[in-house]
Chains A and B, each alone.
Chain A
Amino acid sequence: MSLLTVGDPRRTHGATALRPEPTRHVEPRPDLRIVTVPRRRLRVGLLSSILIVTFFVGIFALAAMHSLVVQAQFELDRIDEQVATRRNQIDARRVEVAELESPAAIVEAADDLGMVSPTDVVYLRPNER
């Protein structure tokens, strides 16, 4: 809003005589005007790059996660199989123990050891005091 003024070139100070200045043709300058500062422009390229990188990083992360899940699933399957195997082994041992504890097996083992059934049973009578 401020205006600049131009002084009268003919006005001088003191007695010093001055040679008149040659007349110059001055081009009129355009009026000053108020301009608005343009907003800073987004750097589209950078943003795009970030987005693309983010996208691919995300995809990679998903793939990595999926890989971990698959790996965990395989681990789970392996453990399940181990559990099933151990359970089968426990059942097999149960059968084995039951077979070994059966009277027929015990009699057979006793026979193998040369044991025989007693012909008479002797009872011990405690002393009467």
Chain B
Amino acid sequence: MTRARAFRGAAATTRADGPPRRRLVGLLVVLSLMFVGIIGRLVDLQVVSADRFVEYGASQRIRTEVLPGGRGSLLDRNGAELVMSVPSQTVVADPRMIEDAQAAAATLAPIVGVDEVALAERLGRDSAFEYIARQIDDAAAADVRAARITGVFLQAEPSRSYPSGETAAGVIGRADVDGVGVSGLERQFDDILTGTPGEVLYERSLNGVAIPVGQHQLEPAQPGEDVQLTLDRSLQYVVEEALADRVRETGGQGGTAIVMVPGTGEVLAMAGVETNAETGEVELAGYNSGLVDTFAPGSVIKMVTIGGSLEEGLTEPTTPVVVPYALQVADHTYQDSELHGTETWDVTRVLVDSSNVGAIQIGQGLGRERVWTYLDSFGFGRSTGLDFPGEAAPALSPWQDWYETDLASTVIGTTLSVNAMQVLAAYNVVANDGVYVSPRLVDARIGADGERRAPQVPEPHRVLSEATSDELATMLTGVVTDGTGTRASIPGYDVAGKTGTAWKAQANGGFDNARGTHDYMATFVGFAPVEDPRVSVIVVIDQPRNVHSGGSAAAPAFARITEQALRLLDVPPTGSDGLLVAEGGARVRAATTTGRGADTAAPSGAADG
């Protein structure tokens, strides 16, 4: 009975579970299918999609960072840094990694000094990269690092530093936050200053730490070259101060001053100031007015015509010229600045007293073509060669296009448009015994290896003979000792120079201002010491109000700047006139032949047309 039940039970079990063989086969099939699936996936991972997964894995592990190639420095002639790059940190974010944008913004905003709402909006964007704050200081960077916000990173990004403040800012220019030169020398030498970025590639763990013995490749960054300028930082400061003071004293709208070494063409200082229309304060101009701004040079250009006439043998310094007060040329009447009868002057006096009528007559004797040729040779028809961004293009029209009055107007500098550098380079011809030397602002490029490379400079060319140059220098000395430029004299030094006063062109192209009168551009240009010129200087005062002539508005600034430059260049006095000298313990003033008295800024009676 029991055995029969057991048999029935077993039979029932066998029927319910099926034959073991079938179950085993089924299990085998299932396992086989699973195995096939695994094999298929394996093939997919290792063969079919291998590259994609390798790339995906690498993208998660391998991080590539750009190493900034530091931007080179701009140095003055003594190696002092005018502008340099310093390491700084930029805060960036990967918004996709940030879980709570509001909280992150609330933490970051006070550290980096940005608006919290705007920052929260940026951190909430669906992007992989956002700038939070660029080139922050070290303290702020440390605070950001300490905040440890997921998705917020610090990356190295050099910033530009100007340790001399605004000194020479108009010449140096500026680079933007991306380190790209946008103005001035920063823009001109952008390619040279800009370094080549490097790259570092490494494997990192989940928490962003570099994996030891992981993949690591380093391509070092190459820093940009330094550019050593011919500028002297100390003299630049002195010139800026002197120019600003003079513009304040004369109530001018602005001013420009340049200091050069005549023999080499090196620019030692180059300053521009302007009066802020709102505050009335005189500030450094944000651009290089000495090269960018053009103006009518006025009487300073007479030196070219008279020099040409001497060189051509048409006149000598003592050649008499009949000078009436006024001269009719075509439909225009030219006159001297001071009323006088018809007199016979020599050529020297024409230059010293800056007679418009006398100069026009000498120019007419020279003729349009030769006047043009000399203007071109003196550098007024060509670029200075500095290639400075925004530099005014030469504006000397061909002599064939000149009308009858153009010759007269050009000779006295009322229709010509020049920049201050062109005028100074022209006067350097006289200082250099008749040779034109192109101005230059760059002394050398200095590579990362320390190697100095001097720039290519244009070949000097002769404009005047040495004899003519000496004659002109003597005549220009007379301008300072006896003529319109007496306030440019410097005790102990012989100074040669020329005053210039011209109407300022208005925005509408005419010369009448809103009051129906004229505004002036007052200029003085010259060099010292005459016997061995070591420094040449030009000062242009834009629209002086208290005085208007070059001799009264610009010459005092010329004297102050030139005196400082000679002292900085260790040029000893060549004479004793006007000097305070110590003899035997007593201070005595030596005999004075030039009248450098107090600058009262009184209206000048100087006849410097």
Contact = CB atoms under 8 A, between A and B. Distances in A.
Interface residues of A, number: 26
A23 B251 CA distance: 163
A125 B163 contact: no
A101 to B, nearest CB: 6
A102 B580 contact: no
Contacts of A124: 581-582
B210 interface: yes
B167 interface: yes
A82 interface: no
B210 A77 contact: yes
A87 B87 contact: yes
Given A73-B210, A95-B161, A101 B587 contact: no
A98 B164 contact: yes
A91 B87 contact: yes
Contacts of B238: 103
A65 B138 CA distance: 38
Nearest to A68: B212
A102 B138 CA distance: 23
Interface string A64-80: 00100110111001000
Interface string A102-128: 111001000000000000111111000
A52 interface: no
Contact of B580 (A88, A91, A98, A123): A123
Given A123-B492, A124-B582, A102 B233 contact: yes
Interface string B212-240: 11000000000000000000011011100
Nearest to B70: A91
Contacts of B167: 102-104
B80 A98 contact: yes
B278 interface: no
Looking at chain A's contact residues, the main secondary structure is helix
Interface in A22-78: 66, 69-70, 72-74, 77
Interface in B34-93: 80-81, 84, 86-87
B140 to A, nearest CB: 14
B84 A94 contact: yes
Nearest to A99: B163
A31 B581 CA distance: 144
A104 B581 contact: no
A123 B81 contact: no
Interface in B448-504: 492
A103 B581 contact: no
Contacts of B587: 122
A123 B573 contact: yes
A125 B585 CA distance: 10
B392 interface: no
B579 interface: yes
Nearest to A96: B163
A94 B87 CA distance: 12
B87 A95 contact: no
A66 B214 CA distance: 12
B573 A98 contact: no
B165 interface: yes
Contact of A69 (B80, B212, B573, B581): B212
Contacts of A120: 580
Contacts of B233: 102-103
A113 to B, nearest CB: 18
A69 B213 contact: yes
Given A88-B138, A104-B237, A124-B581, A98 B84 contact: yes
A35 B81 CA distance: 101
Interface string B134-154: 000010000000000000000
A128 B77 CA distance: 37
Given A95-B84, A125-B576, 10 more contacts: A73-B212, A87-B87, A94-B84, A95-B161, A101-B163, A102-B233, A120-B580, A121-B567, A121-B580, A123-B580
24 contacts: A70-B212, A73-B210, A73-B212, A73-B213, A92-B138, A94-B81, A94-B86, A98-B80, A98-B163, A99-B163, A102-B163, A102-B164, A102-B167, A102-B233, A102-B237, A103-B164, A103-B236, A103-B237, A104-B164, A120-B580, A123-B579, A124-B581, A124-B582, A125-B581
Q: Which 7 pairs between the two chains have the least Cβ-Cβ distance? A: A98-B163, A73-B212, A103-B237, A102-B164, A99-B163, A98-B81, A122-B580
